[in-house]
């Protein structure tokens, strides 16, 4: 292929990348601008930059809009569910990859098949079951299902990573007298840092912004509402205050951005390495 053709393809790729970046970034920039306006400016200058920057919208959203309550619930639920799913998926992935469990590939296939079951098909029986466990009006109504729903994909990722680790490392540790759990946590776990980052990012994003189950589970008590559900109640006396509403949305987006930027290096390694190895 000629140098001219290569250059044309490169320019086209850059143009497409810029276009997709603008499509993704513009809504975020738009919401940031909205979060700094009042209602009058929102309706008269909806697409423009704010003429007066109103940082007090964030203060209003945090206190008057009860974002502090919703954010606290979201942090507790998300961190707890991610931690639980991470621990159990790491152990399960290790067992399926290295402990010679019969039909391990079939087990993983069945687990992955569970991802194709629509959530609405299990919401009613799940809700009834959690009521029987007397978990209503507690954050466990959210934490337990969220952690369970993340397990199939997380186990798949970890199994693929553990399968790439040479068995000689495990055999050497066992010969030296290292127990299975000690080997797992001190020798194997540091080798799968990209997989850990990948699972954390995927699970965090999935749980942090989940709405449907959060809305159903919190119907029994406003005290366990998370950020996505809390936005439904974000209204002033005469309707929606768009500035504080935009500030609340930024509050939801910001942690996702921080988590991804912090773990971006390992996340990309995870997607390009273990996730595609079988």
Give mean pLDDT, residues 22-38: 88
Give residue 23's pLDDT.
83
- The pLDDT tens digits for 250-263 are 988 888 888 877 77
For the chain, list the domains and their CATH numbers: 63-276 (1.10.3720.10)
Three-class SS string for the chain? CCHHHHHHHHHHHHHHHHHHHHHHHHHHHHHHHHCCCCHHHHHHCCCCCCCCCCCHHHHHHHHCCCHHHHHHHHHHHHHHHHHHHHHHHHHHHHHHHHCCCCCHHHHHHHHHHHHHCCCHHHHHHHHHHHHHCCCCCCCHHHHHHHHHHHHHHHHHHHHHHHHCCCHHHHHHHHHCCCCHHHHHHHHHHHHHHHHHHHHHHHHHHHHHCCCHHHHHHHHHCHHHCCHHHHHHHCCECCECCHHHHHHHHHHHHHHHHHHHHHHHHHHHHHHHCHHHCC
pLDDT average, residue stretch 100-121: 85
Question: In the prediction, which pLDDT does 267 show?
Answer: 62
Q: pLDDT over 70 for what percent of the chain?
A: 91
- Note the pTM of the prediction, 2 decimals: 0.84
User: How high is the pLDDT of residue 261?
Assistant: 77
pLDDT in the model for residue 276: 44
Residue 2 has pLDDT above 70, yes or no: no
Average pLDDT, stretch 237-243?
Answer: 74
pLDDT for res 150? 94
> Is the pLDDT score of 78 beyond 90?
yes
Average pLDDT over residues 84-95: 94
Pairwise pLDDT comparison (238 vs 108), residue with the higher score: 108
- pLDDT at residue 129, rounded to an integer: 92
- For residue 172, the model assigns a pLDDT of 85
pLDDT at 275 over 50: no
Average pLDDT estimate for 94-111: 88
pLDDT of residue 117: 81
What pLDDT is recorded for position 270? 59
The pLDDT of residue 278 is 43
For residue 238, pLDDT over 90 is answered with no
Range 133-162 average pLDDT: 92
pLDDT attached to residue 165: 86
Kindly state the average pLDDT of the residues 174-203.
Answer: 86
Q: What is the pLDDT of residue 144?
A: 95
């Amino acid at each position: 292929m000629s140098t001219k053709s290569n250059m044309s393809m490169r320019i086209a790729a850059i143009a497409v990348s810029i276009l997709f970046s603008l499509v993704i970034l513009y809504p975020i920039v738009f919401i940031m601008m909205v979060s700094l306006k009042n209602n009058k400016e929102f309706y008269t200058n909806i697409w423009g930059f704010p003429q007066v920057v109103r940082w007090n919208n964030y203060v209003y959203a945090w206190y008057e809009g009860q974002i502090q309550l919703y954010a606290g619930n979201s942090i507790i639920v998300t961190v707890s569910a991610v931690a639980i799913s991470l621990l159990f998926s790491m152990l399960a992935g290790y067992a399926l990859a290295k402990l010679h469990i019969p039909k391990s590939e079939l087990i993983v296939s069945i687990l992955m098949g569970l991802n194709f079951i629509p959530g609405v098909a299990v919401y009613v029986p799940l809700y009834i079951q959690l009521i029987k466990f007397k978990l209503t009006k507690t954050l466990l109504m959210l934490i337990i299902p969220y952690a369970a729903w993340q397990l199939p994909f997380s186990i798949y990722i970890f199994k693929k990573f553990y399968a790439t680790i040479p068995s000689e490392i495990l055999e050497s540790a066992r010969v030296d007298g290292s127990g299975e759990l000690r080997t797992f946590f001190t020798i194997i776990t540091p080798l799968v840092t990209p997989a850990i980052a990948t699972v954390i990012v995927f699970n965090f994003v999935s749980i942090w912004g989940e709405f449907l189950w959060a809305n159903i589970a919190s119907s029994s008590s406003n005290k366990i509402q998370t950020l996505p559900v809390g936005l439904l109640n974000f209204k002033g006396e005469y309707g929606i205050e768009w500035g504080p509403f935009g500030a609340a949305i930024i509050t939801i987006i910001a942690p996702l951005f921080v988590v991804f930027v912090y773990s971006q290096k390992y996340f990309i390694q995870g997607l390009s390495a273990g996730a595609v190895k079988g």
